[in-house]
Amino acid sequence: MILIVDKPAGITSHKVVSAVRRACGVQRAGHTGTLDPICTGVLPVLTGHDTKLSDLFCSDKEYIATVLLGVRTDTQDITGAVLQRSPVDVSQERFVSALKSFEGDLSQTPPMYSAVKVAGRKLYELARSGIEIERKSRTVKIYETECLGLVGCNEYSIRVKCSRGTYIRTICDELGARLGCGGTMTSLRRTRSNGFDLSQAHPLDEIIQYAESGRLSGICVGAEAAFADAGRCIVPSDGQRYYLNGGLIAYNRLKPAELRVGTLVRAYSEGGAFLGLARCADGGIKCIWQNRSDTER
């Protein structure tokens, strides 16, 4: 089962998953990308057999954030202790130019107040103990930025489309540094994640209510729909069992036979049943996830 949660502020992603697990009565559940307690928005939660889909989704994200200029904090967001206050003399044109300068490949160092683990411990646990350690930088990609305008005194709303692993509050902090006055993130809402957007998301309380009334099927997303942008192919009947057991089905036995190596495709039986997801390899396709609801009939 795939549920698209509109995460509320003030709780961790882990607590959201725990609430969904209890409401659905399942043992296994997980999310596809952590949101800090201050953050709201799209948080896909996978349960049961569908947890295996986590690494197959498109990893790109989109956020709307607000950044306050003239303030720096130790957490890079408004929940932290203030490290610096500075006067602000920045035009909107200069702000837009500085924001655009982040587009492209970007080297980021995970902030100490983050869930990244080093030697088995989360960085924020070390930070709360007053310990700061050296962190390895990593390359992320910023596809698009947009200034949505002023929302308060020296406070701007921005939109950022980026790759997995991007820290928006770090961008806010560095944006302030580039402008010479400091900056900190005051709010963050994830509007897209792993191919899902806010139009598909449901508040956590609503999901719990649907679960309690036995109506979850009305709001969950199936794998077939979740990967609707992937191509499709038909597996021949005499090769279906072999395929489901991990065998390679040659391209010349599929319909269509023209598939691109490395891509993900939805596999179907000749009778139209959704078999699951396959990866196009050299010479043919291999099953990487089975749709149990159809294969177990």
C-alpha of 112 from chain center: 20
Per-residue pLDDT band for 292 (boundaries 50, 70, 90) equals: confident
CATH 2.30.130.10 fits 230-295, yes or no: yes
pLDDT at 120 over 70: no
pTM for the predicted model, two decimal places: 0.88
Dihedral, CA of residue 234, residue 239, residue 243 and residue 246, to nearest 10: -160
Look up residue 56 and give its amino acid: L
Q: Given 6, 36, 50, 173, which residue is catalytic?
A: 36
Is 36 an active-site residue?
Answer: yes
The C-alpha atoms of residue 195 and residue 4 are separated, in whole angstroms, by: 11
pLDDT band at residue 294, thresholds of 50, 70 and 90? very low
Note whether 2-58+196-221 and 230-295 share their fold: no
Q: Is the pLDDT of residue 295 over 50?
A: no
In the predicted structure, residue 119 carries a pLDDT above the cut 90: no
Half-sphere exposure of 141 (CA within 13 A, CB side): 6
How confident is the model over 134-148, as pLDDT tens digits? Answer: 667 889 999 999 999
Range scoring the smallest mean pLDDT among 31-45, 46-60, 114-128, 190-204: 114-128
Mean model confidence pLDDT for the chain: 90
Residue 126 has pLDDT above 80, yes or no: no
Rounded to an integer, the average pLDDT of 87-92 is 97
**Can you give the residue ranges of every domain in the chain?**
2-58+196-221, 61-185, 230-295
Per the CB < 8 A criterion, the answer to whether 111 and 76 are in contact is: yes
**CB-based burial of residue 297 (10 Å sphere; 0-12 exposed, 13-18 middle, 19+ buried)?**
exposed
Query: What's the length of the chain?
Result: 297
Q: Which CATH number, 3.30.2350.10, 3.30.300.130, 1.10.287.370, 3.40.50.720, labels domain 61-185? A: 3.30.2350.10
pLDDT at 183: 97
Residue 268 has pLDDT above 60, yes or no: yes
* Dist CA 71 CA 84 (whole Å): 6
The residues facing 122 across adjacent strands are: 117
Q: Average of pLDDT values for 209-233?
A: 92
Strand partners, 38: none
- Which residue type does 292 have? R
Per-residue confidence band for 89, with pLDDT thresholds at 50, 70 and 90: very high
- pLDDT at position 7 over 70: yes
221 DSSP assignment:
B
2-58+196-221 fold: Pseudouridine synthase (3.30.2350)
Determine the average pLDDT of the residues in 202-228. Answer: 93
68-72, 184-188, 214-218: which range is least confident on average? Answer: 214-218
The pLDDT value given to residue 137? 81
Residue 297, pLDDT above cutoff 50: no
Residue 99: phi, psi to the nearest 5?
-65, -45
